[in-house]
Amino acid sequence: MPKDHARKRRARRTARSAGSSYTSANAGTLHAHPAPVLITVSGAPFGVSRTADMSAASAAIAAGLADCKPCRASAMARLMLGDSLVLAVLAASLPQVPNRELSSITYIFCNDVQPHEYPPYTYDFTAGLGAVQRQSFLEDLVDIWTALIPHLSGDTGTDLTAMIINLTPAPPLDYRAGRTGFVPTPQGPFPALTLTSPDMTGSIEDLSERCGFPLYTWNTLPDVMDWVLQQHPVTLHPWGVRRVSRDGQNLTLGSGEHPAEATSEWTDAAQRAGSVLVLGLWSDGFESLIHAVQAQEIFTVRARLQPSTTRD
């Protein structure tokens, strides 16, 4: 009896490590499905300190490619009971999947979370799923990646074990506060802040599509939107802008380590107005801004000031 228990324990360990079924491992007929190597991913971009072991995901994809239901079921069971960070890694790099039938929870992710391209949102989403939602989301993730692998290999004869896939999210887009100044409005000169992207990862397309910045029209004053100007607590020099959506997800553009210079005239005007125009992308002076506006290359939001920085 002890020998039999030892054999079963070894079989279970082998099954877990290979992503195969316990029955196959116990019978000595372990399936070895070729699979791409999904390397371990740091949780830092997702706001957690641990790493994501992607071996179970790799095994599930391999079993799906081989159409081996027992091995896939075993790997999926490991994923269901495993770290939500693994699901977040798979989801954060999920390609667009038009004309594919998806579960309702995956549609919610694609419509409400994925467009932000912000890994911590993705992790919060996966960590908050109930068992049924997690199962549905996981099935979709594995199915999509299983369908995608042959296209990545480019050749049906390619050795999948030679494929190394790194699903580490790309670094966040880099926006910085540029310059402070004034722009004309029907009510008179209005305080404004420009946004720049020093490493050119940011773009006006991103400001428009992901961030929801409307196109700026010269000599107008848009309505205040759900954006809050970020300022140094002592100098009141602005360093960026932040949006807080109704679901509690924040989107911040700018860095507190890189505030823009601001005169007392500008900070006083911003306090009196209770809001400023945030314009992007623009790295030059305000005197030449009109030319970019006329070329429809400037997008803006009117951001309110924090209550603590406004005058009574």
How do the pLDDT tens digits run along the chain, 312 residues long? Answer: 445 555 555 545 544 444 444 445 444 445 678 888 899 999 999 989 999 999 999 999 999 988 999 999 999 999 999 999 999 999 998 876 655 788 999 989 988 888 667 788 899 999 999 999 999 999 999 999 998 887 766 655 567 777 888 898 877 788 999 999 999 999 999 999 999 999 888 999 999 988 999 999 999 999 999 999 999 999 999 999 998 766 556 788 998 889 999 999 999 999 999 999 999 999 999 999 999 999 999 999 999 998 765 554
- From CA 168, how far away is CA 119, in angstroms rounded? 10
Map residue 130 onto helix, strand or coil. Answer: coil
Supply φ then ψ for residue 41, to 5 degrees.
-115, 135
Supply φ then ψ for residue 178, to 5 degrees.
-100, -90
Question: Residue 206 has which token pair?
Answer: 């991103």
What is the per-residue pLDDT for 290?
96
> Which pairing describes strands 224-231 and 299-304: parallel, antiparallel, or unpaired?
parallel
In the chain, % helix, strand, coil (3-state, to 5) comes to 45, 20, 40
Q: Note the pTM of the prediction, 2 decimals.
A: 0.59
Question: Residue 310 has which token pair?
Answer: 């406004």
Rg, the chain, Cα only? 26
